[in-house]
Protein backbone atom coordinates (compact mmCIF):
# COMPACT_ATOMS: atom_id res chain seq x y z
CA UNK A 1 0.00 0.00 0.00
CA UNK A 2 1.42 3.34 -0.95
CA UNK A 3 1.63 6.25 1.42
CA UNK A 4 -0.95 8.05 -0.63
CA UNK A 5 -3.34 5.18 -0.24
CA UNK A 6 -2.79 4.96 3.48
CA UNK A 7 -3.47 8.65 3.95
CA UNK A 8 -6.43 8.49 1.69
CA UNK A 9 -7.94 5.59 3.49
CA UNK A 10 -7.45 7.34 6.77
CA UNK A 11 -9.04 10.56 5.65
CA UNK A 12 -11.81 8.59 4.09
CA UNK A 13 -12.57 6.44 7.13
CA UNK A 14 -15.90 4.75 7.04
CA UNK A 15 -15.73 4.13 10.75
CA UNK A 16 -14.45 7.17 12.61
CA UNK A 17 -16.09 10.48 13.05
CA UNK A 18 -13.57 11.68 15.63
CA UNK A 19 -11.12 9.06 16.77
CA UNK A 20 -9.71 11.19 19.57
CA UNK A 21 -12.88 10.81 21.55
CA UNK A 22 -11.91 7.22 22.27
CA UNK A 23 -8.43 7.95 23.51
CA UNK A 24 -7.81 7.34 27.20
CA UNK A 25 -7.25 10.94 28.26
CA UNK A 26 -10.31 12.44 26.65
CA UNK A 27 -12.81 13.79 29.16
CA UNK A 28 -16.31 13.88 27.72
CA UNK A 29 -18.92 16.56 28.32
CA UNK A 30 -20.99 14.22 30.41
CA UNK A 31 -19.92 11.56 32.84
CA UNK A 32 -22.85 9.22 33.23
CA UNK A 33 -23.21 7.08 36.37
CA UNK A 34 -20.80 9.17 38.35
CA UNK A 35 -23.35 11.74 39.47
CA UNK A 36 -22.89 10.92 43.09
CA UNK A 37 -19.14 11.34 42.94
CA UNK A 38 -19.41 14.53 40.94
CA UNK A 39 -21.82 16.03 43.43
CA UNK A 40 -19.75 15.03 46.41
CA UNK A 41 -16.57 16.37 44.94
CA UNK A 42 -18.30 19.56 43.84
CA UNK A 43 -19.62 20.09 47.35
CA UNK A 44 -16.18 19.64 48.81
CA UNK A 45 -14.60 22.04 46.36
CA UNK A 46 -17.38 24.62 46.26
CA UNK A 47 -16.01 26.73 49.14
CA UNK A 48 -13.24 27.71 46.76
CA UNK A 49 -15.73 29.92 44.96
CA UNK A 50 -16.03 32.18 47.95
CA UNK A 51 -12.33 32.17 48.53
CA UNK A 52 -12.01 29.71 51.35
CA UNK A 53 -9.77 26.72 51.14
CA UNK A 54 -11.53 23.47 50.23
CA UNK A 55 -10.75 20.38 52.25
CA UNK A 56 -8.10 18.08 50.97
CA UNK A 57 -9.55 15.02 49.31
CA UNK A 58 -8.50 11.46 48.98
CA UNK A 59 -9.96 9.49 46.11
CA UNK A 60 -9.92 5.70 45.93
CA UNK A 61 -11.07 3.41 43.18
CA UNK A 62 -9.91 0.63 40.90
CA UNK A 63 -8.53 1.41 37.47
CA UNK A 64 -11.08 2.62 34.96
CA UNK A 65 -13.66 3.80 37.48
CA UNK A 66 -13.56 7.41 36.37
CA UNK A 67 -11.49 8.96 39.15
CA UNK A 68 -9.33 11.08 36.92
CA UNK A 69 -12.12 12.03 34.57
CA UNK A 70 -14.44 13.14 37.35
CA UNK A 71 -11.72 15.13 39.06
CA UNK A 72 -10.72 16.95 35.92
CA UNK A 73 -14.33 17.50 35.02
CA UNK A 74 -15.31 19.09 38.31
CA UNK A 75 -12.18 21.20 38.49
CA UNK A 76 -12.69 22.53 35.01
CA UNK A 77 -16.22 23.56 35.84
CA UNK A 78 -15.16 25.26 39.00
CA UNK A 79 -12.35 27.08 37.32
CA UNK A 80 -14.73 28.41 34.69
CA UNK A 81 -17.12 29.56 37.37
CA UNK A 82 -14.52 31.25 39.49
CA UNK A 83 -12.55 32.97 36.74
CA UNK A 84 -8.91 33.03 37.74
CA UNK A 85 -9.56 32.91 41.45
CA UNK A 86 -9.41 29.13 41.44
CA UNK A 87 -6.93 27.14 39.47
CA UNK A 88 -5.74 23.60 39.46
CA UNK A 89 -2.63 21.67 38.54
CA UNK A 90 -2.86 18.09 37.43
CA UNK A 91 0.22 16.00 38.01
CA UNK A 92 0.51 12.34 37.22
CA UNK A 93 2.87 10.78 39.71
CA UNK A 94 3.55 7.75 37.62
CA UNK A 95 5.22 9.85 34.98
CA UNK A 96 6.65 12.27 37.53
CA UNK A 97 7.65 9.72 40.07
CA UNK A 98 10.13 11.59 42.18
CA UNK A 99 9.53 14.33 44.68
CA UNK A 100 11.67 16.66 42.66
CA UNK A 101 9.79 16.13 39.44
CA UNK A 102 6.43 16.61 41.05
CA UNK A 103 7.53 19.88 42.61
CA UNK A 104 9.17 20.99 39.39
CA UNK A 105 5.99 20.25 37.53
CA UNK A 106 4.05 22.34 39.96
CA UNK A 107 6.61 25.12 39.70
CA UNK A 108 6.34 25.12 35.94
CA UNK A 109 2.65 25.63 36.16
CA UNK A 110 3.09 28.58 38.50
CA UNK A 111 5.62 30.15 36.19
CA UNK A 112 8.42 29.60 38.67
CA UNK A 113 11.75 28.84 37.12
CA UNK A 114 13.49 25.75 38.39
CA UNK A 115 16.19 23.82 36.61
CA UNK A 116 15.11 20.29 35.75
CA UNK A 117 17.74 18.99 38.07
CA UNK A 118 20.31 20.11 40.54
CA UNK A 119 18.50 22.11 43.15
CA UNK A 120 18.05 20.92 46.68
CA UNK A 121 14.50 19.98 47.44
CA UNK A 122 14.30 22.63 50.12
CA UNK A 123 15.28 25.33 47.65
CA UNK A 124 12.56 24.25 45.24
CA UNK A 125 10.08 24.40 48.06
CA UNK A 126 11.20 27.89 49.00
CA UNK A 127 10.70 29.12 45.46
CA UNK A 128 7.36 27.38 45.28
CA UNK A 129 6.15 29.19 48.35
CA UNK A 130 6.95 32.50 46.64
CA UNK A 131 5.32 31.39 43.44
CA UNK A 132 2.20 30.30 45.22
CA UNK A 133 2.04 33.54 47.15
CA UNK A 134 2.26 35.53 43.96
CA UNK A 135 -0.52 33.53 42.43
CA UNK A 136 -3.17 35.08 44.66
CA UNK A 137 -5.96 32.60 44.63
CA UNK A 138 -6.83 29.05 45.40
CA UNK A 139 -4.81 26.31 43.84
CA UNK A 140 -5.91 22.72 43.83
CA UNK A 141 -3.08 20.30 43.30
CA UNK A 142 -4.16 16.97 41.88
CA UNK A 143 -1.73 14.14 42.42
CA UNK A 144 -2.86 11.23 40.31
CA UNK A 145 -1.54 7.75 41.10
CA UNK A 146 0.02 9.27 44.15
CA UNK A 147 0.86 5.85 45.58
CA UNK A 148 3.63 5.62 43.01
CA UNK A 149 5.27 8.69 44.42
CA UNK A 150 4.92 7.82 48.07
CA UNK A 151 6.10 4.24 47.78
CA UNK A 152 9.18 5.43 46.01
CA UNK A 153 9.96 8.74 47.61
CA UNK A 154 8.05 8.95 50.84
CA UNK A 155 5.46 11.51 51.71
CA UNK A 156 7.53 14.66 52.07
CA UNK A 157 5.84 16.30 49.09
CA UNK A 158 2.45 15.60 50.56
CA UNK A 159 3.63 16.93 53.86
CA UNK A 160 4.88 20.08 52.21
CA UNK A 161 1.69 20.63 50.28
CA UNK A 162 -0.57 20.11 53.25
CA UNK A 163 1.48 22.42 55.43
CA UNK A 164 2.41 25.14 53.01
CA UNK A 165 -0.76 27.09 53.80
CA UNK A 166 0.76 28.16 57.08
CA UNK A 167 3.31 30.18 55.17
CA UNK A 168 0.89 31.71 52.71
CA UNK A 169 -1.23 34.76 53.18
CA UNK A 170 -2.73 35.61 49.80
CA UNK A 171 -3.04 32.10 48.35
CA UNK A 172 -4.37 28.77 49.49
CA UNK A 173 -3.53 25.25 48.46
CA UNK A 174 -5.65 22.12 48.58
CA UNK A 175 -4.59 18.67 47.57
CA UNK A 176 -6.49 15.93 45.83
CA UNK A 177 -4.76 12.57 46.02
CA UNK A 178 -5.89 9.81 43.69
CA UNK A 179 -4.95 6.19 44.10
CA UNK A 180 -6.14 2.74 43.17
CA UNK A 181 -4.27 1.12 46.02
CA UNK A 182 -6.78 0.76 48.80
CA UNK A 183 -4.33 0.16 51.58
CA UNK A 184 -2.12 2.94 50.46
CA UNK A 185 -2.55 5.08 53.59
CA UNK A 186 -0.34 2.65 55.48
CA UNK A 187 2.60 4.32 53.83
CA UNK A 188 1.67 7.73 55.12
CA UNK A 189 2.81 9.63 58.12
CA UNK A 190 -0.05 10.03 60.57
CA UNK A 191 -0.10 13.81 60.25
CA UNK A 192 -0.23 13.65 56.46
CA UNK A 193 -2.87 10.98 56.64
CA UNK A 194 -5.19 13.07 58.75
CA UNK A 195 -4.74 16.29 56.84
CA UNK A 196 -5.00 14.66 53.44
CA UNK A 197 -7.93 12.54 54.41
CA UNK A 198 -10.17 15.42 55.39
CA UNK A 199 -12.56 14.08 52.80
CA UNK A 200 -12.57 10.66 51.23
CA UNK A 201 -14.28 9.56 48.10
CA UNK A 202 -14.67 6.04 46.83
CA UNK A 203 -15.36 5.17 43.22
CA UNK A 204 -17.14 1.85 42.79
CA UNK A 205 -16.65 -0.14 39.58
CA UNK A 206 -19.17 0.22 36.78
CA UNK A 207 -21.53 -2.64 36.06
CA UNK A 208 -22.19 -4.05 32.61
CA UNK A 209 -25.29 -1.95 32.00
CA UNK A 210 -23.52 1.28 32.90
CA UNK A 211 -20.54 0.37 30.77
CA UNK A 212 -22.76 -0.27 27.83
CA UNK A 213 -24.40 3.10 28.28
CA UNK A 214 -21.05 4.84 28.43
CA UNK A 215 -19.85 3.01 25.37
CA UNK A 216 -22.96 3.94 23.46
CA UNK A 217 -22.58 7.63 24.24
CA UNK A 218 -18.93 7.57 23.36
CA UNK A 219 -19.56 5.70 20.16
CA UNK A 220 -21.96 8.41 19.12
CA UNK A 221 -19.22 10.98 19.46
CA UNK A 222 -16.34 9.06 18.02
CA UNK A 223 -17.85 6.86 15.37
CA UNK A 224 -20.06 7.40 12.40
CA UNK A 225 -23.73 6.55 12.65
CA UNK A 226 -24.65 2.91 12.45
CA UNK A 227 -21.11 1.66 12.60
CA UNK A 228 -21.60 -0.30 15.77
CA UNK A 229 -24.63 -2.27 16.90
CA UNK A 230 -25.95 -2.62 20.42
CA UNK A 231 -25.06 -6.28 20.37
CA UNK A 232 -21.44 -5.45 19.85
CA UNK A 233 -21.43 -2.81 22.57
CA UNK A 234 -23.06 -5.27 24.92
CA UNK A 235 -20.31 -7.71 24.29
CA UNK A 236 -17.58 -5.17 24.97
CA UNK A 237 -19.36 -4.06 28.12
CA UNK A 238 -19.63 -7.63 29.34
CA UNK A 239 -15.95 -8.25 28.85
CA UNK A 240 -14.95 -5.12 30.75
CA UNK A 241 -17.49 -5.78 33.47
CA UNK A 242 -15.76 -9.03 34.17
CA UNK A 243 -12.49 -7.13 34.57
CA UNK A 244 -13.58 -5.20 37.67
CA UNK A 245 -15.80 -2.90 35.62
CA UNK A 246 -12.83 -1.25 34.03
CA UNK A 247 -14.15 1.44 31.74
CA UNK A 248 -10.76 2.23 30.32
CA UNK A 249 -10.50 -1.34 29.13
CA UNK A 250 -13.97 -1.12 27.58
CA UNK A 251 -13.06 2.00 25.64
CA UNK A 252 -9.71 0.52 24.72
CA UNK A 253 -11.33 -2.56 23.24
CA UNK A 254 -13.80 -0.45 21.33
CA UNK A 255 -11.01 1.71 19.95
CA UNK A 256 -8.93 -1.29 18.92
CA UNK A 257 -11.92 -2.96 17.33
CA UNK A 258 -12.71 0.22 15.44
CA UNK A 259 -9.10 0.48 14.29
CA UNK A 260 -9.13 -3.07 13.04
CA UNK A 261 -12.41 -2.57 11.23
CA UNK A 262 -11.12 0.64 9.74
CA UNK A 263 -7.94 -0.97 8.52
CA UNK A 264 -9.95 -3.70 6.87
CA UNK A 265 -11.99 -1.06 5.15
CA UNK A 266 -15.15 -2.38 6.79
CA UNK A 267 -18.07 -0.09 7.40
CA UNK A 268 -19.23 -1.86 10.53
CA UNK A 269 -17.61 -3.06 13.69
CA UNK A 270 -18.53 -6.67 14.27
CA UNK A 271 -18.14 -9.16 17.08
CA UNK A 272 -15.23 -10.59 15.16
CA UNK A 273 -13.44 -7.27 15.35
CA UNK A 274 -14.09 -7.15 19.06
CA UNK A 275 -12.64 -10.62 19.50
CA UNK A 276 -9.58 -9.66 17.56
CA UNK A 277 -9.19 -6.49 19.57
CA UNK A 278 -9.46 -8.32 22.82
CA UNK A 279 -6.98 -10.93 21.70
CA UNK A 280 -4.55 -8.27 20.72
CA UNK A 281 -4.84 -6.48 24.05
CA UNK A 282 -4.55 -9.68 26.03
CA UNK A 283 -1.71 -10.84 23.92
CA UNK A 284 0.24 -7.67 24.47
CA UNK A 285 -0.41 -7.98 28.16
CA UNK A 286 0.75 -11.58 28.37
CA UNK A 287 3.76 -11.10 26.14
CA UNK A 288 4.86 -8.06 28.12
CA UNK A 289 4.58 -9.88 31.39
CA UNK A 290 6.58 -12.82 30.09
CA UNK A 291 9.25 -10.62 28.59
CA UNK A 292 10.00 -8.97 31.88
CA UNK A 293 10.15 -12.12 33.98
CA UNK A 294 13.39 -13.22 35.64
CA UNK A 295 15.26 -16.01 33.93
CA UNK A 296 14.32 -18.84 36.26
CA UNK A 297 10.68 -17.93 36.03
CA UNK A 298 11.00 -18.00 32.28
CA UNK A 299 12.65 -21.38 32.49
CA UNK A 300 9.82 -22.76 34.55
CA UNK A 301 7.34 -21.37 32.09
CA UNK A 302 9.37 -22.83 29.25
CA UNK A 303 9.22 -26.21 30.98
CA UNK A 304 5.47 -25.99 31.27
CA UNK A 305 5.26 -24.88 27.69
CA UNK A 306 7.33 -27.77 26.41
CA UNK A 307 5.44 -30.28 28.51
CA UNK A 308 2.07 -29.10 27.35
CA UNK A 309 3.22 -29.02 23.77
CA UNK A 310 4.89 -32.40 23.67
CA UNK A 311 2.85 -34.81 25.74
CA UNK A 312 -0.63 -33.48 25.64
CA UNK A 313 -2.07 -36.56 27.32
CA UNK A 314 -0.18 -36.43 30.59
CA UNK A 315 -1.22 -34.17 33.44
CA UNK A 316 1.41 -31.59 34.16
CA UNK A 317 2.36 -31.72 37.81
CA UNK A 318 4.91 -29.94 39.92
CA UNK A 319 7.25 -32.92 39.89
CA UNK A 320 7.19 -33.15 36.14
CA UNK A 321 7.84 -29.46 35.80
CA UNK A 322 10.72 -29.62 38.20
CA UNK A 323 12.36 -32.45 36.29
CA UNK A 324 11.97 -30.64 33.00
CA UNK A 325 13.21 -27.46 34.55
CA UNK A 326 16.36 -29.14 35.86
CA UNK A 327 16.94 -30.57 32.42
CA UNK A 328 16.70 -27.15 30.83
CA UNK A 329 18.87 -25.59 33.48
CA UNK A 330 21.61 -28.14 33.00
CA UNK A 331 21.50 -27.64 29.24
CA UNK A 332 22.17 -24.00 29.96
CA UNK A 333 24.88 -25.01 32.39
CA UNK A 334 23.33 -23.27 35.33
CA UNK A 335 22.48 -24.29 38.85
CA UNK A 336 18.82 -25.13 39.27
CA UNK A 337 16.89 -23.62 42.14
CA UNK A 338 15.19 -25.76 44.76
CA UNK A 339 11.82 -27.37 44.37
CA UNK A 340 10.59 -25.13 47.11
CA UNK A 341 11.31 -22.11 44.99
CA UNK A 342 9.66 -23.75 41.98
CA UNK A 343 6.56 -24.11 44.04
CA UNK A 344 6.52 -20.37 44.60
CA UNK A 345 7.29 -19.60 40.99
CA UNK A 346 4.37 -21.73 39.87
CA UNK A 347 2.17 -19.75 42.21
CA UNK A 348 3.52 -16.48 40.88
CA UNK A 349 2.74 -17.53 37.34
CA UNK A 350 -0.72 -18.52 38.47
CA UNK A 351 -1.36 -15.16 40.07
CA UNK A 352 -0.51 -13.19 36.95
CA UNK A 353 -2.76 -15.50 34.98
CA UNK A 354 -0.23 -16.97 32.59
CA UNK A 355 -0.99 -20.43 33.92
CA UNK A 356 -3.76 -22.08 35.88
CA UNK A 357 -2.74 -24.21 38.82
CA UNK A 358 -4.83 -26.13 41.30
CA UNK A 359 -3.87 -28.66 43.93
CA UNK A 360 -5.30 -32.12 43.63
CA UNK A 361 -4.75 -35.31 45.50
CA UNK A 362 -3.77 -38.52 43.78
CA UNK A 363 -4.19 -40.58 46.91
CA UNK A 364 -1.43 -43.09 47.17
CA UNK A 365 0.46 -41.10 44.59
CA UNK A 366 0.51 -37.99 46.65
CA UNK A 367 -0.72 -34.47 46.54
CA UNK A 368 0.41 -32.14 43.83
CA UNK A 369 -0.50 -29.25 41.67
CA UNK A 370 -1.92 -29.64 38.21
CA UNK A 371 -0.90 -26.91 35.85
CA UNK A 372 -2.13 -25.76 32.49
CA UNK A 373 -1.27 -22.75 30.40
CA UNK A 374 -3.88 -20.05 30.67
CA UNK A 375 -3.12 -17.98 27.59
CA UNK A 376 -2.71 -18.96 23.95
CA UNK A 377 0.45 -20.99 23.44
CA UNK A 378 1.53 -18.63 20.70
CA UNK A 379 1.71 -15.78 23.18
CA UNK A 380 3.85 -17.76 25.55
CA UNK A 381 6.07 -18.66 22.66
CA UNK A 382 6.40 -15.07 21.59
CA UNK A 383 7.17 -13.89 25.09
CA UNK A 384 9.78 -16.55 25.68
CA UNK A 385 11.31 -16.18 22.25
CA UNK A 386 12.21 -12.60 23.05
CA UNK A 387 14.88 -14.03 25.32
CA UNK A 388 17.84 -14.85 23.14
CA UNK A 389 19.11 -17.55 25.48
CA UNK A 390 15.90 -19.48 25.39
CA UNK A 391 15.37 -18.93 21.71
CA UNK A 392 18.63 -20.42 20.59
CA UNK A 393 18.62 -23.33 22.97
CA UNK A 394 15.16 -24.70 22.64
CA UNK A 395 14.07 -23.51 19.28
CA UNK A 396 10.95 -21.91 20.61
CA UNK A 397 9.42 -19.60 18.10
Partner DNA sequence: CATCCACCGGAACGCCGGGTTT
Partner DNA sequence: AAACCCGGCGTTCCGGTGGATG
State yes or no: residue 1 binds DNA (CB under 7 A): no
Q: Rounded to the nearest whole angstrom, what is the least distance from the CB of residue 163 to DNA in the complex?
A: 19
Does residue 319 bind DNA (CB under 7 A)? yes
Identify the residue among 335, 388, 392, 395 touching DNA (CB under 7 A). 335
Any binding-site annotation on 242?
Answer: no
Question: Taking CB under 7 A as the rule, does residue 115 contact DNA?
Answer: no
Gap between the Cα atoms of 299 and 289, Å rounded: 14
Q: Nearest-5° angle of CA 163, CA 166, CA 170?
A: 120
Q: What sign has the CA pseudo-torsion 332, 336, 337, 342?
A: positive
Contact pick of 367, 378, 389, 393 for DNA (by CB under 7 A): 367
CB of 315 to DNA, least distance (A): 10
Question: Is 67 assigned a ligand-binding role in the annotation?
Answer: yes
Q: Please, which residue, 50 or 338, has the CB nearer to DNA?
A: 338
363 lies in the site for DNA, by CB under 7 A:
yes
Residues 150 and 162: their CA atoms lie apart, in Å, by 14
Nearest approach, Cβ of residue 335 and DNA (Å): 7
Q: Of the candidates 117, 313, 338, 388, which one interacts with DNA according to CB under 7 A?
A: 338
Under the binding rule (CB under 7 A), the answer on residue 364 touching DNA is: yes
Q: Is 19 in the site for DNA (CB under 7 A)?
A: no
Under the criterion CB under 7 A, does residue 294 sit at the interface with DNA?
yes
365 binds DNA (CB under 7 A): yes
When binding is defined by CB under 7 A, the residue of 347, 351, 377, 389 that contacts DNA is 347
Stretch that binds DNA, among 65-73, 258-266, 280-288, 359-367 (CB under 7 A): 359-367
Segment lying near DNA (by CB under 7 A), choices 61-69, 85-93, 227-235, 362-370: 362-370
- Say whether residue 312 binds DNA (CB under 7 A): no
Distance CA 194, CA 173 (A): 16
Q: Interface with DNA includes 296 (CB under 7 A)?
A: yes
- Is 353 known as a binding-site position? no
**Minimum CB distance to DNA, residue 368 (Å):** 4
If the CB atoms of residues 17 and 296 are measured against DNA, the closer one turns out to be 296
Q: Which of 182, 238, 315, 362 binds DNA (CB under 7 A)?
A: 362
Q: How many residues bind DNA (CB under 7 A)?
A: 30
Identity of the residue, 78 or 371, whose beta carbon is nearer to DNA in the bound complex: 371
Q: What is the CA radius of gyration of the chain?
A: 26
3-state SS, the chain, equals: CCHHHHHHHHHCCCCECCHHHHCCCCCCCCCCCCHHHHHHHHHHHHHHHHCCCCCCEEEEECCCCCHHHHHHHHHHHHHHHHCCCEEEEEEECCCCCCHHHHHHHHHHHHCCCCCCCCCCHHHHHHHHHHHHHHHCCEEEEEEECHHHHHHHHCCHHHHHHHHHHHHCCCCEEEEEEEECCCCHHHHCCHHHHHHHCCEEEEECCCCHHHHHHHHHHHHHHHECCCCECHHHHHHHHHHHHHCCCCHHHHHHHHHHHHHHHHHHCCCCECHHHHHHHHHHHHHHHHHHHHHCCCHHHHHHHHHHHHHHHHCCCCCCEHHHHHHHHHHHHHHCCCCCCCHHHHHHHHHHHHHCCCEEEEEEECHHHCEEEEEEECCCHHHHHHHHHCCHHHHHHHCCC
318 binds DNA (CB under 7 A): yes
Q: Contact with DNA (CB under 7 A): which of 346, 354, 373, 380?
A: 346
Q: CA torsion 185→190→192→195, rounded to 10°?
A: 100
Q: Check binding of 24 to DNA (CB under 7 A).
A: no
Question: Smallest distance, Å, CB 321 to DNA?
Answer: 8
Among 9, 55, 243, 343, binds DNA (CB under 7 A): 343
User: Would you say 176 or 321 has its CB closer to DNA?
Assistant: 321
194 near DNA, judged by CB under 7 A: no
Nearer to DNA, 309 or 314 (CB): 314
Number of C-beta neighbours around residue 294 at 10 A: 10
Residue ranges that bind DNA, judged by CB under 7 A = 294, 296-297, 317-320, 335-347, 359, 361-369
> Residues annotated as binding site for ATP?
65-69, 206, 218
> Residues annotated as binding site?
65-69, 206, 218
Amino acid sequence: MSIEEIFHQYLDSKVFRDREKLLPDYVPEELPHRDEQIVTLAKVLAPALTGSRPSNVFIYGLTGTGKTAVTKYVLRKIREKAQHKVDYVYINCRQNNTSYRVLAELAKHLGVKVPFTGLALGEVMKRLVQGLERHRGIIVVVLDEVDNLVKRNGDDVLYFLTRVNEELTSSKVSVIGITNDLKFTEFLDARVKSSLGEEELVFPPYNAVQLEDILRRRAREALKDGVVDDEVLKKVAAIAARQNGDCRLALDILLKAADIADREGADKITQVHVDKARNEIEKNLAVDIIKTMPLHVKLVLASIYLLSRDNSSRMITTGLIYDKYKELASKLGMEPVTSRRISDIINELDIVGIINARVISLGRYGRTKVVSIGVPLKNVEEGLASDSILKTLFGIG
